[in-house]
């Protein structure tokens, strides 16, 4: 899908989701869920479309490798990965089936399992089949393994670099697996509509999912690689998507996904509870965090290695931290949501 067409499709989905919010009955939590469901559906539909395009391009590239086909393949990977980031906050419902979330993105990966699995599979004489992908575990089945095949510098300099036949077989098998998972997830979320709308607990599940996403965004995806946690050393290699230099693009996509798919219903709840000022502050803080882009859309290695560039990252971190405080502390208290343990702690 070309960028302009993709943007138009995303805009159309956003308009449909906005209409759904406007048409939802004004009865608090159920009204919010009536808006959240179709908006998340639009995100899952986009993920299914992008992964399908990725699978088609992988097949095209491996059948007739060329520089142009490779560039298109890498762009399709980015487009599909960003579509996943926009709905990554949804941690309940159909995405829990068969560890689908982990199948899309195995992260964190402190033992570099993705690289180890890739090394084994690309060196093996065993044919790469759908069964092999199914049996190889979540470290093989998603975006990080594709990123390794497409962007890892050590692999690219060796004889197993794409379009080597075995690596291409791995690439095309994984993209087909992901496209199938995405289509199933979209269909299952559609079928999940009735229990989601009629079950009060999913009101809290949706809010807590967004809260956890903000915690992970602040602590794991920004603070730790920036050296603000742990041993105090800057380390770009613990971020997701470091091989492709897309770590901060994925941060932006996560924020935009929350803004599009979660924020309207959340603000509606706050406003119905009389928290007009807090709702306005959260809306402004989302904008403040997103205003750090596109300046922050650089490889994490670049921003961590240069003190002047690091200031851009510091500004983003401060804005995300303030957003997390507003949502996870002040808004949670206002809505009676008990946070529980810090789910971003540990590995």
Q: Could you tell me the residue ranges of all domains in the chain?
A: 1-199, 200-347
Residue 25: the pLDDT is 42
CA neighbor of 36 nearest in space, from 201, 197, 219, 271? 197
In this structure, of 24-28, 183-187, 305-309, 326-330, the range with the lowest mean pLDDT score is 24-28
Query: pLDDT above 70 covers what percent of the chain?
Result: 90
Helices (H), the chain: 3-23, 29-63, 67-87, 100-104, 113-123, 130-135, 143-151, 153-156, 165-191, 193-198, 201-218, 247-257, 263-272, 276-290, 300-305, 307-325, 332-335
Q: Is the pLDDT of residue 22 over 60?
A: no
Look at residue 239 and give its three-state secondary structure: coil
Say which DSSP state 219 is in.
Answer: I
- 188 pLDDT higher than 90: yes
Residue of 53, 24, 58, 28 lying closest to 39 (CA atoms) = 24
CB atoms within 10 A of CB 16: 14
Confidence of residue 340 (pLDDT cuts 50, 70, 90): low
Residue range 290-327, pLDDT digits in tens: 999 999 999 999 999 999 999 999 999 999 999 999 99
What mean pLDDT, rounded, does the chain reach?
91
pLDDT at 345 over 70: no
Going by the DSSP 8-state scheme, the letter that residue 138 receives in this structure is T
Q: Which percentage of the chain shows pLDDT scores above 90?
A: 88
Q: Residue for token digits 């190889």?
A: 136
Residue 339's pLDDT is 75
* pLDDT, tens digit, 9 for 90 and up, residues 258-267: 999 999 999 9
Q: Give the Cα separation of 169 and 62 in Å (integer).
A: 8
Distance of CA 12 to the CA centre of its chain: 20
Cβ neighbours for 260, distance < 8 A, ≥ 6 positions apart = 14, 17, 39, 43, 86
Q: Is the pLDDT of residue 3 over 60?
A: no
pLDDT on residue 8: 38
Superfamily for domain range 1-199: M75 peptidase, HXXE motif (1.20.1420.20)
Distances (CA, A) of 155 to 138, 220, 243, 244: 20, 27, 11, 13
CA-based nearest residue to 121, from 144, 102, 145: 145
Q: pLDDT by residue (tens digit) across 113-125?
A: 999 999 999 999 8
pLDDT for 20: 42
Answer whether residue 67 shows pLDDT above 90: yes
Q: What does the DSSP 8-state code read for residue 338?
A: -
Q: What end-to-end distance do the CA atoms of the chain give, in Å?
A: 36
Phi-psi group of 98: left, alpha or beta (phi > 0 → left; psi -120 to 50 → alpha; rest → beta): left
Q: In whole angstroms, what is the distance from residue 3 CA to residue 20 CA?
A: 26
Rounded to whole angstroms, the Cα distance separating 226 from 192 reads 39
Q: Is the peptide bond before 299 cis (omega within 30 degrees of 0)?
A: no
- Asked whether 122 and 167 are in contact (CB, 8 A), the reply is yes
């Amino acid at each position: 899908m070309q960028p302009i067409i993709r943007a138009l499709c995303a805009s159309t989905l956003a308009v449909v989701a906005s209409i759904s919010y406007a048409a939802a009955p004004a009865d608090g939590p159920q009204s919010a869920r009536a808006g959240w469901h179709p908006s998340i559906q639009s995100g899952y539909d986009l993920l299914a479309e992008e992964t399908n395009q990725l699978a088609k391009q992988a097949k095209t590239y491996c059948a007739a490798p060329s520089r142009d086909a490779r560039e298109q393949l890498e762009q399709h990977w980015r487009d599909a990965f960003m579509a996943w980031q926009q709905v990554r906050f949804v941690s309940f419902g159909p995405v829990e089936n068969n560890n689908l979330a982990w199948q899309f993105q195995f992260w964190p990966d402190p033992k570099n399992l993705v690289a180890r699995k890739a090394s084994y599979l690309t060196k093996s004489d065993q044919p790469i089949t759908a069964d092999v992908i199914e049996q190889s575990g979540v470290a093989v089945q998603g975006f990080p393994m594709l990123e390794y095949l497409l962007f890892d510098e050590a692999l690219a300099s060796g004889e197993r670099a794409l379009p080597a036949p075995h690596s291409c077989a791995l690439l095309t098998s994984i993209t087909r697996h992901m496209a199938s998972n995405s289509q199933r997830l979209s269909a299952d979320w559609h079928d999940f509509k009735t229990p989601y709308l009629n079950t009060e607990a999913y009101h809290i599940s949706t809010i807590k999912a967004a809260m956890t996403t903000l915690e992970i965004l602040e602590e794991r995806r920004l603070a730790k690689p920036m050296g603000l946690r742990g041993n105090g050393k800057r380390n770009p290699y613990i971020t997701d998507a470091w091989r492709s230099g897309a770590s901060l693009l994925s941060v932006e996509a996560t924020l935009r996904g929350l803004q599009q798919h979660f924020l309207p219903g959340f603000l509606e709840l706050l406003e119905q509870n009389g928290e007009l000022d807090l709702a306005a502050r959260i809306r402004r803080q989302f904008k403040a965090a997103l205003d750090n882009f596109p300046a922050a859309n650089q490889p994490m290695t670049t921003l961590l290695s240069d003190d002047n560039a690091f200031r851009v990252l510091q500004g983003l971190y401060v804005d995300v931290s303030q957003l997390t405080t507003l949502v996870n502390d002040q808004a949670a208290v206002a809505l009676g949501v008990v946070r529980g343990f810090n789910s971003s702690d540990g590995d």
